[in-house]
Structure 1
């Protein structure tokens, strides 16, 4: 077995666990670390099959992550539920949520074709695709609902960026001191954003891009559609500029999605997600740089977040 890099090495107990879930005569011949995740180590495993061909699996390992058991159980349940729904999600192979067999809690799933695309080029094509995909996810009505959503950000945990508009941020923090508006529940991904969506983009025909997969279902929840829409909007704003965050909400409604009834209710969720991002700007910026956007320094992302929050508060005025 060869490793693409040192970080790709699979720990011995985990390697043995994975091997027990392979078909007879199969073996792991290569491992490769995949970048883009914040909470999990992600590795692509190349499997040699009995007929001489290969196939790929993906191993997600949560190392010293709080609530890893809950996240892996949610992901396993979601992948099982999504089978046959038309939502392009991976298939579950095995899960060890409490590290009974592995060194750390782990999940093994099928590998999907495609890649994450974080470039500005072709964004006008991808945003409507993202919106239509999220509408399809929200349309799911599982017999057993996932756990109710939670929001961890509080008025005291917000971290205004250096140079932020103090008045706008103070007003935004006041927004989330209020109770959330009433909502109709939907099946939520809870981390739907460009880093968790795979695309096939023909090099000569970028307008023919299509989504091949949606990954990372560890936060699957039941709650307002606005939560997912706001999260994707914020990520688009930080990746590509504030105008794209506004465009995503429009695209979601154009695709048939239904948001909160009033503008102030919608803005509540958008403000809440923007403030939540303030707590992890440095880590998010680092992840995006590693994924091919070296110009997205922490300072650049902070400036975009400040512009996003300020614009939201201007709309509330």
Structure 2
């Protein structure tokens, strides 16, 4: 750990149970927006592990207060739901303004499982992702519990078309398709950044069947169209595994009781175009987790293939 975290460490200790101490801290792989540490804590009742999220990069430091207040509120909301239909971490403490820590930070419990991005078992994970997403969309949130309205992450004028593309007409058609007001939608609770990198899987025991152990990264939680959450996960699956896997998610989502409106083309393109020109921002943590095959060329080709299918199959 190169960055200083002495004040943060002292803050964490103040939120531990009597007699507990941090015996080890290790950097967790896969984080892109923030520094993630796994803390091993030992006390009278044995050892437990916590997760510390700290925003250290300049862009995210500017937005840390709102992001961490949003995430802490969502964790409290999900923790209070009967039966805990969404397996999220439990909040321990939060310092959204960095008043007590070296950087704005949030302390939470460690969820079981790990991120699985391998190609071989992707098909077995799709129904689980779809079912979990449908459960998230059914989360009740009224009054003060309702998160902010969703925000689009791209506009027609901000799309960066990749210069080496051999399909400029495809990109132009996709951009033109979002040159309209957002279509009407039925609002629901959105994770807003739901994709395989934010879902932890366990092996399910001796049978080896994967199960979801937890869903992480709730800083972008919003209220908006279910189609946008589905679109975001579909784009990620297209980049990771190809177009067929992305389309498989929709079928499983509907089978799990999810509801979709008639304007999927708009929402899918709105999300996919935000990954242009080469999806490098998601590829960096994915490569850290073993997907070294995801070169800029591969990602660009898969993104273009996905855009072509969306333009062809959706209206």
TM over 0.5: yes
5+ residue gaps, structure 2, are: none
1:49 is matched with 43
Written as runs of structure 1 = structure 2, the 5 A alignment for 1:153-302 is: 153-161=154-162, 162-201=164-203, 205-206=207-208, 208-260=209-261, 262=262, 265-278=263-276, 281-302=279-300
| Count of residue pairs the alignment pairs up | 306
Runs of 4+ in 1 over 6 A off after TM superposition: none
Separation in 2 of the partners of 1:76 and 1:10? 24
Q: Which moved more, 1:305-314 or 1:74-83?
A: 305-314
1:34–1:280 CA distance, 2 compared to 1 (3 A): farther
Written as runs of structure 1 = structure 2, the 5 A alignment for 1:83-162 is: 83-85=79-81, 86=84, 87-143=86-142, 144-161=145-162, 162=164
1:313–1:46 CA distance, 2 compared to 1 (3 A): same
Separation in 1 of the partners of 2:44 and 2:256? 45
5+ residue gaps, structure 1, are: 1-5
Contact 1:286 1:298 in 2 (8 A): no
Identify which of 301, 312, 315 aligns with 2:310: 312
Separation in 1 of the partners of 2:26 and 2:282? 22
Separation in 1 of the partners of 2:308 and 2:22? 51
How far has the Cα of 1:314 moved from its partner?
2.3
1:203–1:121 CA distance, 2 compared to 1 (3 A): farther
Separation in 2 of the partners of 1:136 and 1:11? 37
How far has the Cα of 1:180 moved from its partner?
0.8
Q: Which moved more, 1:161-170 or 1:37-46?
A: 161-170
Contact 1:36 1:287 in 2 (8 A): yes
Contact 1:197 1:213 in 2 (8 A): yes
| SS in structure 1 of the partner of residue 157 of structure 2 | coil
| SS in structure 2 of the partner of residue 156 of structure 1 | helix
The CA RMSD measured in Å over matched residues stands at 1.6
